Amino acid sequence: MGFEVDVEDIRKAAAKLGAGPPPRIAAGGAPNVGDTARAGGFAGDYDVWLTTRQEDLQAAQQQVESLVESINAAAKAYRAGDDGARDAFLKALDSGLGRIDR
């Protein structure tokens, strides 16, 4: 008793994380900044910025999915009562989370 409760709590927290809405940026196309000499260049800057933010948020979401998957896999493999199950669980988390790209 004891650690299996922790495992379940960790799994539940991970499930909650996985169920959380993925952050998205709902900005439209380049804002109308007028028609001055620099306006066209700014539209390009904005385009780069928006794509960068969208791709970065997607990467963050993939990170979350990998994190949840690693925790689920470790929790599934956890056998309460087995000798060394606790260490095996934590080691699985160490290596599972360690493999996720920052």
Partner 1 sequence: MTGIFDRIHDLAGQVEKGSTTELDDRARACRTAEEAVKDAKALIESVRVELGEGWQGGAGEAALNSLDDFKKNRDAQAEDLEESAKSFEVIRDALAKAQSEARDKRERADALRTKLDRVWQDLSHGKGNIVFAWGQDKIFKAEALVLLADLQLAVTTYDAVLLAEGLKLRTKTGQVWELAGSEKRNPAEIAAILLRELPALAALVAKNPELRLALLAGDWDKIMQDPDVAQVIYDYFGFKYDENGDFYTTGEHSVQSYLGWHDLYDKLEPVIGAKLDHTSDGGDNMEFTDPKTGKQYRLELWKGSYGFGGAYGGEVGFYTREPGDDHPEGYFSAAQGDDQIKVTQQIYDKTTGEVYFTNDGQGADGTDKKHFWNLAIRTDSDVNPDALGQRATIEVRDTDMRDRIYAEMTRYAAAHPDQNLTVHLGTDDPPTLSYDWRK
The residues of the shown chain that bind partner 1, judged by CB under 8 A, are 3, 6-7, 9-10, 12-14, 16-17, 20-28, 31-49, 51-57, 59-60, 63-64, 67, 71, 87, 90-91, 93-98, 100-102
DSSP letters for 38-61: THHHHHHHHHHHHHHHHHHHHHHH
Q: How far is the CB of 50 from partner 1 (least distance, A)?
A: 8
Backbone phi and psi for residue 86, each to the nearest 5 degrees, phi listed first: -65, -50
- Contact present, 81 and 13 (Cβ < 8 Å): no
- For partner 1, which is the closer residue by CB, 41 or 77? 41
Q: Minimum distance between the CB of residue 80 and partner 1, rounded to whole angstroms? A: 13
By beta-carbon proximity to partner 1, the closer residue of 24 and 79 is 24
- Closest approach of partner 1 to the CB of residue 5, in Å: 8
Rounded Cα distance between 24 and 88, Å, is: 36
Nearest approach, Cβ of residue 84 and partner 1 (Å): 10
Are 85 and 79 in contact by the 8 Å Cβ rule? The answer is yes
